[in-house]
Chain A
Amino acid sequence: MDYLKPPPARPTAQPQPRPQPPPRAPVHAHSTATISDTATFQGTHPISIGVGSIIHPRAKLYSFDGPITIGDACIISEKCVLGLPPAQHSHVAAQIGLRNGQDHEIRVSASVTLAPGVTVFPGVTVCSAASVESLAVLRNGCVVGSHARVCAGCEVAADVRIPDWVVVWGGVGRPMQRRRRARGKKSSPVVAAAAAAAAAASQGQDQDAVAAAATLEGKVIEEARLVVLQRERETLTKLVAAGNTRKK
């Protein structure tokens, strides 16, 4: 009749809200930063988040190997992993040659976008206005220059420096490709249309200005992108904050 008895210790009978054994990192966030409830902050070193930055739900920041500094007006999307998670810490750290006791700070400068699923290893520097797209991997010690762009799925090897204004892409089954972003005049129809739309949206300029914008400098396009980024942050601030309050 033994088998009729319920199992002595029922796992369901533990209503604990899942204690977190790893230490919660000391987070210094600016009051205007929007941080989702479901973002994870663990580690021993401090994590600082700048003015107006947005941390999406399910982003994970682990500061076991060094502090994490996130600048102003950044967007860290869902499922981004910054630093090494404690579960795989020991063997991955050995694999990539991190030395204990040394500082491997992750620096993310101002106006940086990290798209969903980006992995950032310790010791990475992302300079201002760079954008790192979905599922990209930044290995330890690499530097992404300002206004640079790491396209989706790209893996930047350890200690590689990507210069300013450079786009890298590809890398799935063949070498990564890179080129310098156009900064001079550019008059392809796509660029013209995008510029016209951006100009109309950002300043509400009249038709002459839009026509003049048909040939635009790359710099202007980049500025337009940053304006859009600013708008994105405005929208996200509302939505992420709404998500936070609803759960409480």
Chain B
Amino acid sequence: MPPPWNDLQMSGHHRNCIDQQEAFNRPNQHSNKMPPKAVKGEYIETDTGNKISRRSMIHGTQHIILGGKTVIQAEAVIRGDLYRASSSSSSSSSAPDGQASSSSSSAHAPSVAISVGRYSYISKQAILRPPSRLHRGVLSFFPLKIGDHVFVGERAVVEAATVGNHVHIGRDVVIGSMAILKDFAYVLDGAIVAPGMVVPSWCVVGGAPARIVGEVGEGYGVEGAEGGMARERYRLVGRG
């Protein structure tokens, strides 16, 4: 963009110049901005503000619910294809009359494999995978519910049943099958949370296997303070 004093020098055509410049500028912005956006746009932004990396590996999208303003970074694997094949297992035990109506209604609403709340952040190479267990003689997958403002670190493997709000999961963490992380739980880097473990609220866990090693401090998770930076984190994604 030419400096503003350019038109001051050409004092005679002052107004003309500005018009010209504006006419200039618009296509200029257009041609200058559009190609880079299409090229480097690492993230796809959905209507609800989810920022999803083009290099993320999401399977079974119809079984995944993102609450909005969720960030999914490159090479994160989300296994929505491991949903609960409930219609076959539950209908076999129920009466055929009731089954016909229930299965037709459930067919319209596909079973949810993974739900993620608002302002949650899935880092690079993390794996989200619904937990599985034996249920009526059939191994079925259970929904993985992740709350709001959750952070999942790099290379973490999350197979939990429930992850509460404001939970922090460090890098290289493994959350075992059917574990439950309550609100404001903090999992240190490299921790291995055993299958079925319940991490209480406000607790810090670490080690392999993970144990409770402390509590998060006073004021943790307050907006803008430590543990409350989810909005800021979201805002910074995809900028430069």
- Which residues of A line the B interface, CB within 8 A? 3-7, 10-12, 38, 57-58, 78-79, 115-117, 133-135, 151-154, 169-173, 197-198, 201-202, 204, 228, 231-232, 234-236, 238-240, 242-243
Contacts and interface: CB of A to CB of B under 8 A. Distances in A.
Nearest to B62: A246
Contacts of A170: 208-209
B236 interface: no
Interface string B146-182: 0000000001010100000000000010101000000
B59 A238 contact: no
22 contacts: A3-B32, A10-B35, A12-B39, A38-B57, A38-B59, A78-B77, A79-B77, A116-B157, A117-B155, A134-B127, A151-B208, A152-B157, A152-B174, A152-B176, A153-B208, A169-B209, A171-B208, A172-B207, A197-B134, A235-B138, A235-B139, A239-B82
A228 B39 contact: no
Interface string B51-81: 0000001011000000000000000010101
Nearest to A231: B139
B81 A240 contact: yes
B125 A151 contact: no
Contacts of A135: 155, 157, 172, 174
Which interface class (under 10, 10 to 19, 20 to 34, 35 or more) fits B?
A: 35 or more
B141 interface: yes
A133 B174 contact: yes
Contacts of A239: 81-83, 85, 141
Interface string B74-96: 00010101110100000000000
Given A57-B77, A153-B190, A169-B209, A232 B174 contact: no
A133 B59 CA distance: 22
Contact of A235 (B57, B127, B132): B132
